[in-house]
């Protein structure tokens, strides 16, 4: 007996999305591969990740109409679209300074380098993932404080003789004889928030993976942070960063896709 209900479970999609952004004016991607490496899923410059989100990512598309009436008919005989509205909304779980700069319209980030003590050198090569650094002298290094090797600032777990045990692994390999310095004061990042009238435009990408492993991507060409209230809670709960953007049409692009477009892989 034939099945009355014609369904295809492969067309039912769900799962989280990956929210990425780049400055408005970036070359509009023609393919998913223009945004990220399809082998490693690493983003290509100048695209940046917004990281983990909480309670999903919502996109909306709506329009308003105006009815037209004539004397001879009791009721509208036609309807015209008067405006469109598009928005993207989520809660950012990665409350980084860079994400706050974007979501809260922050000023420039001003960085101050850490203050370093007297340097020593390693007596052996370091591989990625190493947690022990053998040095010529451990004088000036303190457990619970930090050291700098190359471009990394790492926390010290403990010290035994001239061996420094790290609380976190080395991320970049280093040759024997590499310079290692104790950090006497951590660096800082400073950002200000005020009443600026400069609301930057950005491009937003939303990437997700379908059940069969193929990828989907939506590109919102021109977005701006909305003026809605953005409240952060300082409590025992994790602090989330509200992000809501409005998307606008781009001049010179066909009106059928001047706000956003979608690309999905097919087999």
* 190-244 pLDDT tens trace: 999 999 998 999 999 999 998 888 999 999 999 999 988 888 889 999 999 999 9
Per-residue pLDDT at 122 exceeds 90: yes
Cα torsion 30, 31, 37, 42 to 10°: value is: 70
Token pair of 102 as six digits: 């974007």
Distance CA 175, CA 124 (A): 7
* 153-183 pLDDT tens trace: 999 999 999 999 999 999 999 999 999 999 9
Nearest one of 141, 184, 186 to 164, comparing CA atoms: 141
Quick one: pLDDT at residue 72? 85
Contacts of 221 (CB under 8 A, 6+ apart): 24, 28, 203, 247, 250, 253, 258, 259, 260, 261
Quick one: pLDDT at residue 212? 85
Distance CA 267, CA 9 (A): 16
Per-residue pLDDT at 2 exceeds 80: no
Per-residue pLDDT at 13 exceeds 90: no
Question: CA separation (Å) from 169 to 20, 109, 135, 179?
Answer: 28, 27, 16, 17
**Higher pLDDT, residue 69 or 133:** 133
* 75-103 pLDDT tens trace: 888 888 889 999 999 999 999 999 999 99
Distance CA 224, CA 246 (A): 5
**Higher pLDDT, residue 10 or 143:** 143
**Higher pLDDT, residue 249 or 210:** 249
């Amino acid at each position: 007996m034939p099945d009355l209900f014609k369904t295809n479970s492969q067309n039912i999609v769900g799962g989280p999305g990956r929210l990425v952004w780049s400055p408005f004016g970036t070359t509009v991607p023609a393919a998913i591969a223009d945004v990220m490496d399809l082998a490693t899923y690493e983003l290509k410059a100048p695209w940046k990740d917004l990281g983990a989100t909480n309670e999903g990512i919502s996109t909306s598309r709506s329009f308003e109409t105006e009815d037209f009436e004539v004397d001879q008919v009791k009721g509208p005989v036609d309807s015209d679209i008067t405006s469109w509205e598009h928005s993207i909304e989520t809660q950012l779980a990665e409350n980084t300074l860079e994400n706050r700069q974007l979501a809260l319209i922050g000023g420039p980030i001003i960085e101050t380098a850490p203050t370093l003590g007297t340097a020593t050198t390693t007596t052996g090569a370091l591989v990625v993932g190493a947690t022990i650094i053998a040095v010529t002298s451990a004088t000036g290094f303190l457990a619970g404080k930090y050291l700098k090797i190359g471009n990394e600032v790492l926390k010290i777990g403990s010290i035994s003789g001239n061996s420094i045990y790290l609380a976190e692994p080395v991320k970049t390999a280093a040759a024997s004889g590499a310079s290692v310095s104790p950090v006497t004061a951590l660096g800082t990042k400073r950002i200000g928030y005020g009443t600026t009238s400069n609301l930057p435009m950005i491009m937003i990408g939303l990437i997700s993976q379908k059940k069969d492993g193929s990828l989907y991507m939506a590109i919102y060409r021109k977005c701006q942070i909305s003026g809605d209230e953005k409240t952060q809670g300082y409590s025992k709960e994790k602090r989330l960063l509200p992000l809501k953007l409005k998307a606008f049409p781009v001049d010179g692009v066909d009106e059928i896709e001047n706000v956003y477009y979608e690309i999905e892989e097919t087999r």
